[in-house]
Structure 1
Amino acid sequence: MGTRVSYPAEVKMKAVKMRLAGVPVKEVLKELNIRNKTQLKTWMKWYKAGELHRFDQPVGKQYSFGKGPEEENETEKLKAENRYLKQQIEGLKKVRRIGEEVVPETAVELVEELKNSLPVREICRHLGIARSTYYRWRRQSREETSKQAIERKIGTLCRNHKFRYGYRKITALLKREMLINHKAVQRMMQKYGWQCRVKVKKRRQTGQPCHITDNLLKGDFQADQPLQKLVTDITYLPFGQKQLYLSSIQDLFNGEIIAYSIGDCQDTNFVLDTLSQLSSLPEGCILHSDQGSVYTSHAYQQAVKEKGIIMSMSRKGTPADNASIESFHSSLKSETFYLDKLDSTTTAIVEQTVENYIHYYNHIRIQAKLNNQPPVAYRQLAA
């Protein structure tokens, strides 16, 4: 004959409430580790008949109708609760196969559920594991949960910025809310393929210099104040119904694009239109460009002098001399047209995409060299 099990009144009431909430019988039995569904039917019968006092009656004893125990025996009640807890542990050992082949997740869940009723040492003894093992599993479980939350946060940031940021910038954003190492962020991004798209490196053959003016920058792209050093260049936009060009001027102090023009004709008037957007320049302002025909033209050189700008030019065929503006144009294409695969679209969409990106670049996109601030915010803080 099997051992008769006594269930505490709290378990009986919880089972009844679960059934009233529509929880299937099998789930109730599994959740509360109840042996027989007949017991559950009996408790439901008592509940519907208003005989709630019968939930406290011991095994093998029935109270008179409408009457409960005259005196509660605290010792017997504790014994009944202990028998129920032991039954839960023994049942989980058989059904979930924990014990010799204990599952860490199940063990942690079980101890957390029972530790208010039994000492952790006693529960671990029944499970056949050391208490230190339980605490180690619990710590690992919490670390795993925290790691998953960080991974979700990284994925959200990568998607929000359309995978334009590498692990360094994602780390900078995360450090606004938490303490995290950049190597951990890099590993997580590599795990899910969230890295920034790699830019294709292009090389050009160097040519003979055509001396118009000296290279005053000489590779020094640092500026101490706004509008001290400017760089300009033209890039192709072959993504629409016709060939378009972008002429832009960048301030090396914070990398901000302070002037730009979009057109379908790469002539002197095109770059003059970009130059005309500059105003109130300080004395000694340097404007650096390559040796393109539009920049070496008489009209452009004259317009530069009239604005009091000192002209500087790269050596022929050496784009590295103007690396900052070249990098901006590369980022623009990589983070918009190449990323979104806009290789054949309308002229209006090309223009709108460029305008939107320049606004994003100036006001939203953070840069590591600017203490992880966007260019406009960095300039305002510096002021």
Structure 2
Amino acid sequence: MSMDEHIETRAIHAGQEPDEETGALMTPIYANSTYEQDGPGDHRGYEYSRTGNPTRTDLEANLAALENGSYGRAFSSGMGAINTVCNLLDAGDHVVTGDDVYGGTHRIFTQVYEKYDLEFTFVDTTDHAAVADAMQANTELLWVETPTNPLMRVNDIEALAALAHEHDALCAVDNTFATPYLQRPLEFGADIVSHSLTKYLGGHSDVVGGALITDDEALDADIGFYQNSVGATPSPFDCFLVLRGTKTLPVRMDRHCENARALAEWLEGHASVDRVYYPGLESHPTHEIATTQMDDFGGMLSFDLDATLEEASTVVSETEVFTLAESLGGVESLIEQPAAMTHAAIPPEEREAIGLSDGLIRASVGIEHVDDLIADLDAAFTAAGVH
């Protein structure tokens, strides 16, 4: 499959050919742990499924093609992928990252890897001077989310990648919220792209997975070494589910974006909403860079209610079309309160410092009819007494 093909075509065909023996159109689920060898050490490309599995191979090729990358590696979770990036570092290395990264990323950085003598500095990555000031002689990685979770800040990948490279550091970008349909960080100079496949790429809230994509052969070899050595690899069935999901990524994302944009505009005009965080709104502080870097603005948004913690909790508990749940990126709409759920691992004082209030609500806008989504939130506001 040529990179000249449009992404809608690559999503369906890249990495996937009909089975040579049977003509089966879909990639088979190779439920094997081991493979026959023709002689000692003489195998046919596969020897043990932690090291490699044909279903996973097809998924990895598909993901690499979607990102316009050369190499892809799949993992059993998004955190397994992030852990593998940390494995690339040595004791004494320093990492610069965003101050509103996903709570699980913050947790693995501070509560897992700091005790192995890795140092992390959290800054507002939209402030390039702050990023430059944070870089040190031992900085080996700049970890970027864009849009960020949950404040939806859009980071300038090209500028940040250049800044990282000035310091001989890698630039890794978590592209989970945008997906390769809307944004491809390798095209802007990033070294590694990270995904939680659990989200939009899987797309149906029925699988957990992660991925790392790169254009650098040596870097991919290092990632592959840790993928095999640590063993956080997905099952063949999980790979099959994600492959099923990527086929419909473009059409799903079009509806996610359409619905989120309409909902964001409605929220922005609501008297009880203090602020809406959605890159597609002209009022969003990083809207301009979003227009140059993204093909559309995604299905994620957050908003601050002019309400107490209890009232905001009532809102997320009273919805009926939106489901109160963590995670995101499925066809169904989800709603949550980051301070009590996805970002509870971040200390309260740090949450407050970056603007992550107790009244902040995050929505993963699904592909239902947008009028039903608006009516559902409106009814929840009424039930919480915030009209």
- Hey, which of these two has a bigger chunk of helix by percent? 1
Q: Which has the higher contact order (CA 8 A, sep 6+)?
A: 2
User: TM-score, normalization: structure 2?
Assistant: 0.22
- Hey, which of these two has a bigger chunk of strand by percent? 2
Q: Which has the larger radius of gyration?
A: 1
